[in-house]
């Protein structure tokens, strides 16, 4: 599928497709420089895709009432990510490959998910489940640093920032994240 064709996919389809591409590239056993460049490019593309789909929908969902189409679209994206990275599937090789993808993009995904906890409801539930998975496969120390940086950067600009901080720090303290 070419880039032109991926533009026609729904957000969940585009995310599944990009994740599959990254899984295939990461599973390559060749260590040549060309392959390393392709790996880096595919990871950057997936991170950018996630940032675009999550960020665009989140910014709209924050200002629209609950149950709006933007909130529904955001839930679709989060549900897709949860299926890929949290719930997995029966194929052990695919689950391992998805874990490898998450290890590479976790830092970027974490930054996108933390503010979504402020939305509450299903969005927060999906976001927390994904954050827990990111913490399970990535460095907790690095994730804590990202959280601290985001808390400092919000400085009152995020609705419910104190709630988000409380929820996430509680998970850190319990070791759940």
**Res 31: pLDDT:** 60
Read off the pLDDT of residues 89-128 as tens digits, 9 standing for 90 and up. 667 777 777 888 888 888 888 888 888 887 888 888 888 8
Residue partners of 58: CB distance under 8 A and separation at least 6: 74, 112, 115, 116, 119
pLDDT given at position 6: 52
User: What are the backbone dihedrals phi and psi of residue 39, each rounded to the nearest 5 degrees, phi first?
Assistant: -60, -50
What pLDDT digit, counting tens, does each position of 39-79 carry? 677 777 878 888 877 877 777 776 666 666 777 888 888 88
Other C-beta atoms lying within 10 Å of the C-beta of residue 161: 17
- pLDDT tens digits, residue range 118-155? 788 888 888 888 888 888 888 777 777 877 787 777 66
Q: 81: helix, coil or strand?
A: helix
- Residue whose structure tokens are 């901080």: 165
Which tokens in the block code for residue 40? 């880096």
């Amino acid at each position: 599928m070419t880039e032109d064709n991926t533009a026609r996919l729904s957000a969940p389809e585009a995310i599944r497709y990009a994740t599959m591409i990254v899984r295939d590239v990461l599973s390559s056993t060749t260590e040549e420089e060309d392959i390393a460049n392709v790996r880096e490019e595919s990871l950057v593309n997936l991170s950018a895709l996630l940032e675009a789909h999550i960020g665009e929908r989140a910014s709209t969902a924050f200002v629209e009432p609950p149950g709006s189409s933007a909130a529904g679209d955001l839930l679709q994206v989060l549900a897709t990510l949860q299926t890929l990275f949290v719930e997995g599937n029966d194929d052990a090789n695919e689950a391992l490959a998805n874990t490898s993808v998450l290890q590479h993009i976790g830092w970027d995904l974490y930054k996108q998910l933390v503010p979504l906890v402020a939305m509450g409801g299903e969005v927060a539930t999906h976001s927390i489940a994904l954050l827990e998975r990111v913490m399970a496969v990535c460095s907790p120390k690095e994730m804590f640093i990202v959280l601290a940086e985001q808390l400092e950067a919000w400085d009152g600009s995020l609705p419910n920032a104190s709630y988000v901080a409380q929820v996430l720090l509680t998970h850190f303290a319990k070791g759940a994240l």
